[in-house]
């Protein structure tokens, strides 16, 4: 079914598959695992964002010692938040306007 999906459907399916590969049997990630996943799989988006207060806030929240785990919904919110604060959207706009 995914082969017939739109690009955005495939993108969300890929995010879900990557998340599930890292998740525990309950379908959740520890904060440390979440941070590792973001740094390994989302590096090109977050690269260069380290000095932005919002990035520091997100990453420091993942460094907090807590038994709370991240579910898929929270993970997707993190992805969207990191994407919105990154330079990716401006890069996409620049590509679109140069065509």
Provide the pLDDT for residue 43. Answer: 82
pTM of the model: 0.75
Question: How do the domains of the chain map onto residue ranges?
Answer: 2-98
Chain segment 42-91, per-residue pLDDT in tens: 887 878 777 888 878 888 888 776 778 899 998 998 888 888 877 766 67
27: left (phi over 0), alpha (psi -120 to 50) or beta: left
Q: Which CATH number fits domain 2-98: 1.10.3720.10, 1.10.238.10, 3.40.50.720, 3.90.190.20?
A: 1.10.238.10
């Amino acid at each position: 079914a995914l082969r017939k999906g739109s690009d955005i459907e495939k993108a969300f399916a890929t995010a879900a598959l990557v998340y599930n590969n890292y998740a525990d049997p309950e379908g959740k990630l520890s904060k440390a695992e979440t941070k590792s996943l973001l740094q390994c799989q989302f590096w090109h988006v977050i690269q260069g964002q380290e000095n932005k207060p919002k990035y520091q806030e997100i990453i420091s929240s993942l460094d907090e010692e807590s038994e709370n785990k991240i579910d898929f919904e929270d993970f997707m919110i993190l992805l969207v938040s990191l994407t919105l604060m990154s330079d990716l959207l401006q890069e996409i706009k620049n590509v679109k306007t140069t065509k």
